[in-house]
Structures are given as C-alpha cells and as structure tokens.
Chain A
Amino acid sequence: GNSVTQMEGPVTLSEEAFLTINCTYTATGYPSLFWYVQYPGEGLQLLLKATKADDKGSNKGFEATYRKETTSFHLEKGSVQVSDSAVYFCALSDIRYSTLTFGKGTMLLVSP
C-alpha cells in the first residue's frame, strides 16, 4: 500500500534560517504529491503540490520538487519567519485509491 514518511519534529529554527523538511513516499503508479500546513487551532491548508516527476511546487516562499528517482518531496524555504510556525504534512494522492495518504506531520517552531 501507499505510505508517506516525514522527519520527526519538532524542528526548531531561528528566524531567517533555512528550512528543510524531508518527505519520502512509497506508492504504486504515479501519485500526485502535496504539502499541507496546519496552523495552531486550524484545519489543514494546501501549501503546494506537484503532479508529475520533476515538477516543482511553490507557494509563500516554500518549494518542493517531485523526485521520482529518490521517491522524495522535500519541503524547503530559504528564510523562515515566526509566522511559519505550524505543523507540516506531506501527502500523496493515488489515482487507484482516489484518496490522500498523509505523513505523521512535522512541527516547525521558529523563534525571533
């Protein structure tokens, strides 16, 4: 079956630091890949997505590239802000199952 593995958190950074949150996946076929973000007390919001190999999703300074050869979709941001503190979820969508499979989430804490 499908699975998503994310690095365990929390990830603690100072403002303006570089961020990487690792995500690898196992899937049959050619899934679409997503990053969702959950701010405290809120539901999940789509941050970015990529639908095929070598696609790069980007939004709000965050980027992730769909790497089929390494089955990865790592999230990066060049300079984090305190307001980026949240839980980040990597997910995949498989056309066979038409559902999302989520990772466990990685908490990011950014201090001033």
Chain B
Amino acid sequence: ETGVTQTPRHLVMGMTNKKSLKCEQHLGHNAMYWYKQSAKKPLELMFVYSLEERVENNSVPSRFSPECPNSSHLFLHLHTLQPEDSALYLCASSLDRELETQYFGPGTRLLVL
C-alpha cells in the first residue's frame, strides 16, 4: 500500500469518448503529478500541481485536461484521444515539489481504439 490510489485500473475508450482518471493520495502531500508511461520510452512528466495550483505543463496536448480540486485529489480528463495516447498513466505525490521523494500510484492502463 503506497498511499496513492488510482481509478480505474484499466480503461478502454473510443476516440470520441470522454473519460476521467482519478488519483487520490492519503499521505498529506502538497504536490501531485501525472506521468505517461509508454512502451520503450522514458516516463514522461505531464503535469505538476503544488498546493492545488498547476506549476508545470510539459507541452501536453489539450485533449488532456488536469484538475486538482484539493491537495488530496487529482483528475485527468480525457477527450478525443488518439490511439497513440494508449499508455499507462501514473499519478504521484510528494510532500513538496522541491526535491522530495515521489510516491506513485499503481497506474491506469488506457487503451484508445
């Protein structure tokens, strides 16, 4: 149990669907992250939130839309995705964003048809 949970664990969606990924951390951390993990590629940082404010957006297409309503929850809203967006989406949290150890959730395996 890492203290970071993600739902759903698996998701299949069509290119015209709208879905959301949810992440929740029970560690009292102030920073949360979304990563994309594709086969044979390094983990790609997508978004960083610190104290519910987005502090980094790594040139992610607008079809990915993050939301952080409070320091414990992070969402990734998905719409009109492409097949190449199929990947494992990992959420992480850290006490603060400054050089703190990040704790990861189990990920959501996304398949876009």
Which A25-55 residues have C-beta < 8 A from chain B? 32, 34, 36, 41-46, 49, 51
Cα distance, A93 to B96, chains bound together (Å): 13
A-B contacts at CB below 8 angstroms, number: 50
Q: Which residues of A contact B2 (CB under 8 A)?
A: 43, 45
Residue contact A46 to B99, C-beta cutoff 8 Å: no
B contact patch SS = loop
Residue contact B56 to A43, C-beta cutoff 8 Å: no
**Quick one: closest B residue to A102, CB to CB?**
B43
Q: Which residues of B contact A36 (CB under 8 A)?
A: 104
Residue contact B43 to A99, C-beta cutoff 8 Å: no
What is the distance, in angstroms, from A54's C-beta to the closest C-beta of chain B?
Answer: 18
- Size of interface on A: residues with Cβ below 8 Å to B: 23
**Quick one: closest B residue to A93, CB to CB?**
B99
Which A73-112 residues have C-beta < 8 A from chain B? 89, 93, 95, 98-105
**Quick one: closest A residue to B9, CB to CB?**
A41
Residue contact A43 to B42, C-beta cutoff 8 Å: no
What is the distance, in angstroms, from A41's C-beta to the closest C-beta of chain B?
Answer: 7
Residue contact A46 to B101, C-beta cutoff 8 Å: yes
A95-B98 contact, Cβ under 8 Å, with A41-B106, A43-B105, A45-B104: yes
16 new A-B contacts at CB < 8 Å, known A44-B104, A46-B102, A102-B43: A36-B104, A41-B106, A42-B106, A42-B107, A43-B6, A43-B104, A43-B106, A45-B2, A89-B43, A95-B99, A99-B48, A99-B97, A100-B45, A100-B102, A102-B42, A104-B41
User: Which 6 A-B pairs give the minimum distances between C-beta atoms?
Assistant: A43-B104, A44-B104, A102-B43, A43-B106, A98-B97, A102-B42
